[in-house]
Chain A
């Protein structure tokens, strides 16, 4: 039986249930690299040029940790998911970059998803991927349909039942995800709702974001993430804020940000990686709208390879203080 390795980084967070279903339907076994640790990051950073972004370094680190544990590594390339949207070049060159910097890696399974080229080409590409496991097109089709269904189920868990991504992942794959169990809150203080915006690979990698969600929960905050918002709402917000989406993953930042600004959360925190081109544009757009709107506090945290978490903690504490004191003052005025 073939073992397919999947690095626990970048698109893993959004699509893993789909990939797992696809490969398992084709009779393969799936292994995921263990959660990010300092070793993963150091290993990844030591192999790429210095100005590669943090999430890409993490990705390389995960790939290295899969060497010797699988027969091939699956690295999809997502060019576009909607017509006339574009993705960052780091995503487009991911398999080639990995081959270059991890020469000891087993063969890399690729698929290029580009909606711009039409559905026919997409189906051909899926079949090409499936052919590594079977010659029977019907079997590939069956696997692809099941995979798509599990992605829909996964998303539904997040936006209909408001499960935070790791919980949904755990429920659908049956694999335990480290940590991030919702803390049951005592309702002594009025709950504070924080809208988080940013890519899933930053929001849910506890190592690189210094356990952000866990910390927010410790400050008695209810966290709402982009995955918990239904697609049509997010899409409408993107159109409102930015006109037509340009980037493939614009919804997670601009869409969610726009929605949070309108839906009345107590504060919005944006998470981006230092040196990320698309994010620097998208976060700025949300920031500008927040400044103009004046009612919802917004803060952007930039993640980098700092080993000290002090900077992030001080900002988070100050942000939560700001919201709490604002609420206290507001209530005092009402009374």
Chain B
């Protein structure tokens, strides 16, 4: 079986998706990044391999998400794509007539406007992370409940209380205040969900035309209370795709397929064995100029595979070690 693999390494979760030649989803995995993207990718490769038949032949690999360059080095990516594009590609694949894509992940929230099957505008949260998955996680933890429980209980609310959603700090103090006034936890939780949706629409969605069909994807779409709040606020149907949490990885796999088909190339995929290789990630401060860039490097068996993080390309070419007497500037 020929297949394409998409790897999406986000701030909180890592997603892998495998599509066959007719772009059907064969299998996918969804696991926590836990601040260790290399381990997460390797674990993901291990997990997805278990679900696959022996004869699978990887024809193309693409990585996406905030750790896309790092993941790209580990798996040997044919294509490294930003998560805005991959999410749009996946949504358009399943819903060709989509006009609006809402995507909320661990630390980012994005809005993509599509007309006639073409992305015409997008926005991403700027300085504020209010309304992303991390904040909901944090609030669930504070109330000593799982994120699933938060979603379930918020759904039962009949008379939500108003919570300020402009800023996570204010939202939290507002919630504490409302708790101490004696409001029901369910109503406070749903009030929080509404506040996050309002904040999203007023921040990321500012000045954008949100026309239906609206697709809601990303990890936060698991939260039925947020989905309900979006439906009520927008007063329209909000579609949550079945595989909403791996849409980025699916989009990456679709783009890998497209890329390999147009270029007729041979995949750079390093094989599932990469999950057993020991990688070593480290960083150093370059002293070549006053910028003092923090250069990160990833190596395997003492051999540097890639470096990034520098303002110039001095370290990005791997062979730089020979060009510069590294002891002096490292």
Cβ contact within 8 Å between B124 and A314: yes
Q: Is the CB of B66 within 8 A of A310?
A: yes
> B81 to A321, Cβ gap below 8 A?
yes
Cross-chain contact A326 with B119 (CB below 8 angstroms): yes
A171 at interface (Cβ–Cβ under 8 A)? no
B302 in the interface (beta carbon within 8 A): no
Closest to A322 in B: B119
Can you name the residue of chain B whose Cβ is closest to the Cβ of A36? B291
Given contacts A207-B311, A315-B124, contact A288 B82 (CB under 8 A): no
Asked if A119 is an interface residue, CB under 8 A from chain B, the answer is no
The residue among B82, B83, B311 with the most chain A CB atoms within 10 A of its own CB is: B82
Residue of B nearest to A39 (CB): B290
A37 to B122, Cβ gap below 8 A? Answer: no
Interface class of chain B by DSSP: loop
| Bound Cα distance from A302 to B126, whole angstroms | 8
State how many residues of chain B have any CB contact under 8 Å with chain A.
Answer: 23
User: Known contacts being A207-B311, A211-B311, is A317 close to B120, with CB within 8 Å?
Assistant: no
Q: How far is the CA of A39 from the CA of B84 in the complex (A)?
A: 33
| Bound CA–CA A37/B293 (angstroms) | 10
Count contacts between A and B, CB distance < 8 Å: 64
* Cβ-defined contact, A318 with B85, below 8 A: yes
Determine which of A39, A294, A298, A321 lies in contact with B292 in the assembled complex, contact meaning CB atoms within 8 Å: A39
Is there an interface contact between B84 and A314, defined as CB atoms closer than 8 Å?
yes
Q: 7 more A-B contacts (CB under 8 A) besides A322-B120, A325-B119?
A: A37-B290, A38-B293, A40-B290, A302-B127, A310-B66, A314-B124, A325-B85
A contact residues around B127 at 8 Å (CB): 274, 302, 304
Contact of B84 with A318 in the complex, beta carbons under 8 Å: yes
Within 8 A of B (CB), among A59-77: none
Q: Which residues of A come within 8 Å of B, CB atoms?
A: 37-40, 206-207, 211, 274, 287-288, 291, 294, 297-298, 302, 304, 307, 310-311, 313-315, 317-319, 321-322, 325-326, 329
**What residue of chain B has the Cβ atom nearest to residue A319's Cβ?**
B122
- Enumerate chain B interface residues (CB-CB to A < 8 A): 66, 81-85, 117-122, 124, 126-127, 207, 289-294, 311
Question: Could you list 24 examples of A-B contacts with CB < 8 Å?
Answer: A38-B290, A38-B292, A39-B291, A39-B292, A40-B290, A274-B127, A294-B120, A302-B126, A302-B127, A307-B294, A313-B82, A314-B66, A314-B83, A314-B84, A317-B84, A318-B85, A319-B122, A321-B84, A322-B119, A322-B120, A325-B85, A325-B118, A325-B119, A326-B119
Taking the closest CB of chain B, its distance from the CB of A193, in whole angstroms, is 18
| Smallest Cβ-Cβ distance to A206: which chain B residue | B311
Q: Give A188 to B30 CA distance when docked, in angstroms.
A: 39
Question: Given the complex, which residues of A lie within 8 Å of B119, measured CB to CB?
Answer: 321-322, 325-326
CB–CB B118/A37 < 8 A: no
A291 to B207, CA, bound (A): 8
CA distance A39 to B294 in the complex (A): 13
Q: Which residue of A lies closest to B123 (CB)?
A: A299
A313 neighbours in B (Cβ, 8 Å): 82
Give bound CA distance, A309 to B258, whole Å: 28
Residues of A within 8 A of B294 (CB): 307
Assess the B290–A322 pair: CB atoms within 8 A: no
Kindly list chain A residues whose C-beta atoms are within 8 Å of the C-beta of B290: 37-40
Indicate if the CB atoms of B207 and A287 lie closer than 8 Å.
yes
Chain B residues, CB < 8 A from A274? 127
Distance of B110 from chain A, by nearest CB (Å) = 9
Complex CA–CA separation, A288 to B82 (angstroms)? 26
Given contacts A207-B311, A288-B207, contact A38 B291 (CB under 8 A): yes
Say how far B255's CB is from chain A's closest CB, in angstroms: 10
B85 touching A321, Cβ below 8 Å: yes
Q: Give CA–CA (A287, B119) in the complex, Å.
A: 17
- Residues of B contacting A321 in the complex (Cβ-Cβ under 8 angstroms): 81-82, 84-85, 119
B121 contacts A314, CB within 8 Å?
Answer: no
